[in-house]
């Protein structure tokens, strides 16, 4: 039986409540990268999902406040890098606006021309298919043009904290 203590009408949904409840959905963590016109750019992104198999599409949700997303949208191609268990420092570094995020970070360029970060679990190269404003985020669909993966454990995010997967 589900715990009903947090159920409430729409009038009770404030930001803290929304974050708290939605935080119960455990996810992996990604860094979305692109080769911007002035060099590599990227940001940490939890809001990522597979979307369509035929044709292969993925979905991400960049905040309208992101200073990196417009640089990615400008070039129209990006890579979603899925982080491994040891890459929490990378997740934190790419979440800092204005920082030199690529200092000391190794990468190769993927099929879309965007950085595939070394040591990441999977890389999904995309071209930008659509971006629609949705509240304080954009609902972005990427057409998958390249794929790669490696063995390893994932970095997870649950209720505001990083963790590791175990069976
Ligand atoms: C665990 C975690 C998950 C995040 N998920 C997202 C996300 O899904 N979408 C988003 O726009 N920002 C997300 N962020 C915040 C961005 O990484 C951060 O606002 C951004 O990197 C700021 O830099 P920018 O101004 O260069 O974009 C997340 C941050 C962390 C630490």
Residue nearest to atom 22 of ligand 1 (CA): 97
In the chain the domains, ranked by start, together with CATH numbers, are 28-164 (2.30.110.10)
Report the nearest atom of ligand 1 relative to the CA of 60: 8
Cα-based angle 30, 91, 70 (whole degrees, multiple of 5): 65
pLDDT at 136: 97
Cα(103) to centroid(ligand 1), Å? 18
Residue corresponding to tokens 């790419």 = 94
Pocket flag, ligand 1, residue 80 (CB < 6 Å): no
Bond from prior residue into 80 cis (ω within 30 degrees of 0)? no
Quote the ligand 1 centre to 162 CA distance (angstroms): 14
**Rounded Cα distance, 142 and 125, in Å:** 9
pLDDT digits (tens, 9 = 90+) for 125-163: 999 999 999 999 999 999 999 999 999 999 999 999 999
- Residue 82's contacts (CB-CB under 8 Å, 6 or more residues apart) are 28, 29, 30, 120, 121, 122, 123, 124, 149, 154
123: three-class secondary structure by DSSP: strand
> Distance between CA 96 and CA 156 in Å, rounded?
19
Per-residue pLDDT at 11 exceeds 80: no
């Amino acid at each position: 039986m589900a715990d009903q203590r947090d159920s409430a009408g729409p009038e009770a949904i404030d930001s803290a409540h929304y974050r708290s409840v939605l935080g119960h959905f455990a996810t992996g963590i990604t860094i979305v990268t692109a080769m911007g016109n002035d060099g590599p750019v990227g940001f940490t992104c939890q809001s990522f999902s597979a979307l369509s198999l035929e044709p292969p599409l993925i979905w991400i949700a960049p905040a309208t406040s992101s200073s990196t997303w417009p640089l990615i949208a400008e070039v129209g191609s990006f890579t979603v890098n899925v982080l491994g268990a040891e890459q929490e420092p990378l997740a934190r570094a790419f979440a800092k606006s204005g920082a030199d995020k690529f200092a000391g970070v190794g990468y190769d360029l993927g099929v879309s021309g965007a950085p595939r970060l070394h040591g990441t679990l999977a890389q999904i190269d995309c071209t930008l298919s659509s971006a629609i404003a949705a509240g304080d985020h954009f609902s972005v669909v990427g057409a998958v043009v390249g794929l790669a993966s490696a063995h390893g454990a994932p970095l997870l995010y649950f209720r505001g904290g990083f963790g590791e997967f175990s069976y």
